[in-house]
Structure 1
Amino acid sequence: MNTAPVGTQEGRRPPQQITRNLNELLQELRVMQTGVQILTGFLLTVPFTDRFGDLTENQQRLYLGILVTAVLTTLVIVAPVCYHRLLFRQGRRDWIVAAAQRCALAGLVGLAAVSAAVVLLVFDVVLGTRAALIAAAAVALAFTLMWAAVPWRGRTR
């Protein structure tokens, strides 16, 4: 007998599969959380260093953009935990899994963007704008290849 509330899709997949999917997603998000939180924590200390005042106005704006992107990435990666906590007894696990999937993908995009942008800022400070653009483009390309092209190729086989 299906005890899922009307309007949910939980009755379409076995509850064990939904629970397994949710647990896998939450574990993947925990891995991402660690990286994003360490990076965000590091970014929070930068303005309090002696060299921060040496940054150009554009570099400081880039830094602030990176910081906001890192915080927003943290937001989307942690959001499924909140969804689960608020809705898990409401028979909405299928919705939680779908929302967590979207958050995980958004978190991966955010993590790639923050990583490439950090490389851009650091290379700009150390070597200049041209080297920064090349290094950031290389990092963005590496993320695109490893996180998009490789799985896409595996998916089409």
Structure 2
Amino acid sequence: MTQKAEDGPERGRDETPEERADRRWTDLLQELRVAQTGVQILFGFLLAVAFQPRFAGLSDTDRHIYLVTMLLGAATTGALIGPVSFHRLLTGQRLKPETVVWASRLTVVGLVLLLCTMASALLLILRIVVADEVALWLVAGMVAWFVVCWFVLPFWARAIGRRADE
């Protein structure tokens, strides 16, 4: 029996809902490993910034940007580690398909927060390196690049896949 995709046409896999949930959970874990590693490294560097000698010389604006960046980094970490908590607290409750859906949603929230964290960190650094106006343009360009890579291309591929199935 072929299972339907989450919100699309039938696909070529012959698996039960539980098998599908197991496969999707394994895929999600692999994705989270990549994202969590990057976030942990970024957050670690951000934590160290406040202890650098030049930190005392930052303007009030730069300190506010740093504060926002730290909070975004902490929120990102929480969102991308959240699926682990979902899994651990719901294991054995026969809610694997629902767990995968919620963990997937939390991962997307984490990616959006990661985008914001990256933008904020870039703004902080680029304000020190180049003029403020240039920094804003560079950050806007990088945000656009991340949006294209992380969201536009996957949604575009999804739309092409749907059209091919019609």
TM-score (normalizing by structure 1): 0.89
Structure 1 position 33 matched with structure 2 position 36: yes
Structure 2: runs of 5+ lacking an equivalent: 1-15, 161-166
Structure 1 position 18 matched with structure 2 position 16: no
CA contact (8 A) 2:17 2:97 kept: no
Give the counterpart of 1:57 among 57, 60, 65: 60
How many Å separate the matches in 2 of 1:60 and 1:84?
A: 37
Structure 1 position 103 matched with structure 2 position 106: yes
How many Å separate the matches in 1 of 2:118 and 2:111?
A: 11
How many Å separate the matches in 2 of 1:99 and 1:151?
A: 19
- Larger helix proportion, structure 1 or 2? 1
Structure 1 position 143 matched with structure 2 position 146: yes
How many Å separate the matches in 1 of 2:88 and 2:133?
A: 47
Give the structure, 1 or 2, with the largest relative contact order (CA under 8 Å, sep 6 or more): 1
1:118 corresponds in structure 2 to: 121
1:43 corresponds in structure 2 to: 46
How many Å separate the matches in 2 of 1:126 and 1:24?
A: 39
2:3 corresponds in structure 1 to: none
CA contact (8 A) 2:39 2:73 kept: yes
Count of aligned positions: 145
Shift of 1:87: 0.8
Aligned sequence identity (%)? 37
Range with bigger deviation, 18-27 or 57-66: 18-27
**Cα RMSD over matched residues?**
1.0
Structure 1 position 76 matched with structure 2 position 51: no
How many Å separate the matches in 2 of 1:152 and 1:89?
A: 33
CA deviation map 1:46-72 (0-9, x unaligned): 010011011100100100100000010
The residue type equivalent to 2:37 in the other structure is T
Deviation above 4 Å: which 4+ runs of structure 1? none
